[in-house]
Copies of this chain bind each other. A is one copy, B any other.
Amino acid sequence: MKSNAVFYHAGCPVCVDAEQSLAAALDPSRFNVEIVHFGDQPQRVAEADKLGVKSVPALVVDGQVFHINFGAALSDLR
């Protein structure tokens, strides 16, 4: 069974770099990678907050939150 990975971002340059180089680098045979852009799906900010996401870009792999560099604070996206 594949693991789920969700990459949350807000379209910032730091986010786009991380999406292209890191989220896209995950092994597709082991991970279902979902990309969530808060500009398109603002209602999912609350979900990310619950998972423990403090800033974007962030990658959540099986419930573990990895904050990657720093683009913007989640609190600034509400």
**Residues of A that sit less than 8 Å from B by CB:** 3, 5, 17-18, 21-22, 25-31, 59, 61-62, 64-69
Question: What's the Cα separation between A62 and B22 when bound, in Å?
Answer: 11
When distances are taken between beta carbons in the complex, the residues of chain B under 8 Å from A61 are 21-22, 25
Q: How many angstroms between the C-alpha atoms of A58 and B58 in the bound complex? A: 14
CB neighbours of A21 from chain B (8 A): 61-62, 64, 66
A67 to B69, CA, bound (A): 5
* Contact yes or no, B68 A66, CB < 8 A: yes
Contact of A30 among B3, B18, B25, B30 (CB under 8 A): B25
Shortest C-beta distance, A1 to chain B (Å), equals 15
